Amino acid sequence: MLIIGFIGLAVAYYLFTMKVPGLEKTEANFELTADELFNAFDENESASLAKYEGQVIAVTGIVSRIKLSESTSNITLDAENAMAGGINCSFNEIVANINKGDSVTIKGRCQGFLMDVVLNNCSK
């Protein structure tokens, strides 16, 4: 019984700590501007979820915020109609050579809409 418990803990630890593969080599299903993507969710969230959730999207926009931690980056692309932010892009690594005000294209998997549209597992 102790061995089964140990194996279960080992599998759980492995699944919890494994890195999710990046999207660098994955083709985007959609290519949109930050304004287009945000406006789609803002106008009709349920239709946008049905269309974009789980899809890989390439989004072009202006960087309005950069937050770095020890091993991850979070970059926000400005959307004109957003109260604050617009497209929240989470990276599983530190992203260099991006500055506030830069125009960039970021590819990520759409996870839905909170105050911003959320893209995870992003790559530049």
* Residue-level pLDDT at 3: 73
> What are the angstrom distances between the C-alpha of 25 and each of 8, 21, 67, 77, 84?
33, 10, 25, 22, 31
Enter the pTM of the model.
Answer: 0.80
pLDDT given at position 18 = 44
Say how many C-beta atoms besides its own lie within 10 A of residue 109's C-beta: 20
Q: Return the axis-axis angle of helices 34-43 and 45-52, rounded to nearest 10°.
A: 130
Query: Mean pLDDT per 10-residue run, the chain (124 residues)?
Result: 61 49 79 97 96 97 94 95 91 92 97 94 91
Q: What domains, with CATH codes, occur in the chain?
A: 22-123 (2.40.50.140)
